[in-house]
Amino acid sequence: MKYHYYPGCSLEGTAREYDQSARALLAALGVQLSVIDGWTCCGASAAEATSALLALALPARNLALAERQAEAMDVLVPCSACYLNLKTAAEKTRTDALLAAQINAVLGAEQLHLQGRLRVRHLLDVLTTDLGAAAVRAKVVRPLTGLRIAPYYGCQCLRPYADFDDPERPTSMDPLIRAAGAEVFPWQMGGRCCGASHMSTQHDVGIALVAGILEAARGAAAIVTVCPMCQMNLEAFQGAAGRAAGNDLHINILYLPQLIGLAVGLDASVLGLRLNLAFDNALIRSIPVAA
Amino acid sequence: MSASTGHPQESASPQAHDDLEHVRQMVQSCIQCGTCSGSCPNAFAMDLTPRQLWRLVLLDRREAVFQSRTFMLCSACYFCTLRCPRGLPLTEAMHVLKQTASREKLERYRPVTAFYRHFMGSIRRHGRVNELEFMTYYFAEMMKPMLPLRYSGLGLRLVAKGKLSLRWPLRRTQPLEALFRKVAELEDAK
């Protein structure tokens, strides 16, 4: 199994551990990745707030670069915001010929052209649909017995394109968490919004949203995420969120491939766990040693 | 609602007028059911609910729309878009209002639009975002000496983890310059 890989800006910096753990897990599951040569920013949540054309042209450029590579493969994206931007560009140009011509007029400035041949896939979609829980289970050497894990999906891997999961009550992570030997913490907050860039632009609103999510996860051993923005919001502001809620809201926050990676026997250093802002090594120690 | 007295306070550019007309077309068949308001995770912090905002758009109450902070509080969770019984692209309509506020440089939205503008400036210069550079420019524009402190704890943690480079980007590779120029050219021609 082989994919084009679009890491996105966060995975080079503040979410390096997501990049490391996603690559390590996919390699362990027999997946090959080909990084899109010369990739640039997808526009994040800034382009759509600035210019409608720019918001489509920036992700389209990356798709055009992927198309230029020899093999036609799906484009795998771990970041939910990047995923949605790339997916939106692919979908809109596929269904609107006028728009596609306009985007290609932009891309033509650097001799690029988007044909619209490639599918955009979120990492979670690939894990759940292409690989599946059985493939994960087959690789598990250290089941995460006794850990109750709260799956957090956030928004943009689910909505508006409900490609691989229920956009209201997502469940795609459940079989993967169980395959890793852990339990699924029952909660209703998996698809709720973390506030995205509010944490930077309208801080108090962001804190309120994060506090609600962390509060609901009390009793879980960890929350797992599939997006660098969700991860940062949930892990970096636990003190402030706890003060706002009048409660201790500290909890482990890991990326999904980090959690599964532990179960398939990947080393904590390979998974970048030391880079997490809210991760206590006691969690690793609490995993029973394989029989 | 003091915003609805009907006297425009900021003269709108022709482009801004087109924008509001564009949004009006996007929400034209709104039935005012309020599903958007009930679904919005940020409604608690808004001065107008999304439903009220769409009504004002339909009534062409530009000044009331651009005095509200509602659209800037949209975090693009897409719940309203998913659930709207009329199938309206409501999140996208919020984006168009943000684009207008940004392009018209409306002062009341500057704390948010400046953040996006400096982010875009950084990717224009480097192709990928440089967090240190764009946050530095953002803080400089905001001129609120306490603002960086809110993030300095986080910044130091990120630096300690080697996730945030303290090196100021000197080389401007500008791989997106041609794209940015072409987009501006097409938008100006509209």
What is the domain-level CATH number for residue A242?
A: 3.40.50.11810
**Structure tokens of B120?**
């875009």
Q: What is the CA radius of gyration of chain B?
A: 19
Between chains, do B82 and A38 touch, taking CB under 8 Å as contact? no
Reported ipTM: 0.96
A227 and A190 within one domain:
yes
Between chains, do A193 and B41 touch, taking CB under 8 Å as contact? yes
Between chains, do B112 and A54 touch, taking CB under 8 Å as contact? no
Nearest to B174 by CA among B137, B116, B124, B112: B124
The residue range of the domain holding A8 is 2-122
A110 and A55 within one domain:
yes
A253 and A152 within one domain:
yes
DSSP readout, chain A?
A: -EEEE---GGGGTTTHHHHHHHHHHHHHTT-EEEEPTT-----TTTGGGT-HHHHHHHHHHHHHHHHHSSS---EEE-SHHHHHHHHHHHHHHHH-HHHHHHHHHHHGGGT------PPEEEHHHIIIIIIHHHHHHHH-SS--TT-EEEE---STTTSS--SSS-SSS--THHHHHHHTTPEEPP-S-TTS---TTHHHHSHHHHHHHHHHHHHHTBTBSEEEES-HHHHHHHHH-HHHHHHHHTS----EEEEHHHHHHHHTT--TTTTTGGG-SS--THHHHTSPPP-
A108 and A12 within one domain:
yes
Question: Which among B44, B71, B119, B150 is the top mutation candidate for probing chain A, defined by the most A β-carbons within 10 Å of its own β-carbon?
Answer: B119
Neighbours of B122 (CB within 10 A): 25
Total number of domains in chain A = 2
| Whole-angstrom distance, CA of residue B177 vs CA of residue B134 | 17
A153 and A60 within one domain:
no
Between chains, do B78 and A155 touch, taking CB under 8 Å as contact? yes
pLDDT tens, A76-118?
Answer: 999 999 999 999 999 999 999 999 999 999 999 999 999 999 9
Between chains, do B99 and A156 touch, taking CB under 8 Å as contact? no
A118 and A24 within one domain:
yes
For residue B12, name the pLDDT band (cuts at 50, 70, 90): low
* A66: in domain: yes
CATH of the domain at A112: 1.20.1050.140
Say whether pLDDT at B169 is over 90.
no
A109 and A146 within one domain:
no
A31 and A155 within one domain:
no
pLDDT tens, A230-239?
Answer: 999 999 999 9
Nearest to B93 by CA among B54, B35, B36: B54
For residue B131, name the pLDDT band (cuts at 50, 70, 90): confident
For residue B156, name the pLDDT band (cuts at 50, 70, 90): confident
- Residues in chain B closer than 8 A to A163 (CB atoms): none
List the single residue in B75, B150, B181 with the smallest CB-CB distance to A195: B75
Torsion of the alpha carbons at A198, A199, A200 and A204, rounded to the nearest 10: 80
Say whether pLDDT at B8 is over 60.
no
List the single residue in B91, B115, B158 with the smallest CB-CB distance to A14: B158
Say whether pLDDT at A164 is over 70.
yes
Q: Which helix (H) or strand (E) holds A85?
A: helix A80-95
- Residues in chain A closer than 8 A to B121 (CB atoms): none
For residue B150, name the pLDDT band (cuts at 50, 70, 90): confident
A154 and A276 within one domain:
yes
Between chains, do B115 and A159 touch, taking CB under 8 Å as contact? no
Which domains are delineated in chain B?
14-104 (1.10.1060.10), 109-189 (no CATH)
Buried (b) or exposed (e) across A139-165, using 16+ Cβ within 10 A?
bbebbbeebbbbbbbbbbbbbbbebbb
| Whole-angstrom distance, CA of residue B89 vs CA of residue B81 | 6
| Whole-angstrom distance, CA of residue B84 vs CA of residue B31 | 10
List the single residue in A47, A159, A275 with the smallest CB-CB distance to B161: A275
| Whole-angstrom distance, CA of residue A83 vs CA of residue A42 | 9
Report B:106-135 residues touching A (Cβ under 8 A): 111-113, 115-117, 119-120, 123, 127-129, 131
To the nearest whole Å, the CA of A291 is away from the closest chain B CA by: 34
- The burial class, CB within 10 Å (0-12 / 13-18 / 19+), for B102 is buried
Which residue among A93, A122, A151 closes a domain?
A122
A155 and A110 within one domain:
no
A156 and A107 within one domain:
no
Between chains, do A156 and B111 touch, taking CB under 8 Å as contact? no
pLDDT of res. B165: 80
pTM above 0.80, yes or no: yes
* A250: in domain: yes
Between chains, do B181 and A109 touch, taking CB under 8 Å as contact? yes
To the nearest whole Å, the CA of A224 is away from the closest chain B CA by: 19
- Residues in chain A closer than 8 A to B78 (CB atoms): 155-156, 159-160, 167
pLDDT of res. B11: 52
* Residue listed under structure tokens 């506090």: A211
Q: Provide the CA A210 distance to its chain's centre, in angstroms.
A: 17
A153 and A41 within one domain:
no
Q: How long, in residues, is chain B?
A: 190
* A151: in domain: yes
Q: Provide the CA B23 distance to its chain's centre, in angstroms.
A: 15
To the nearest whole Å, the CA of A287 is away from the closest chain B CA by: 25
| Whole-angstrom distance, CA of residue B58 vs CA of residue A47 | 26
Specify whether the CB–CB gap between B30 and B88 falls below 8 A. Answer: yes
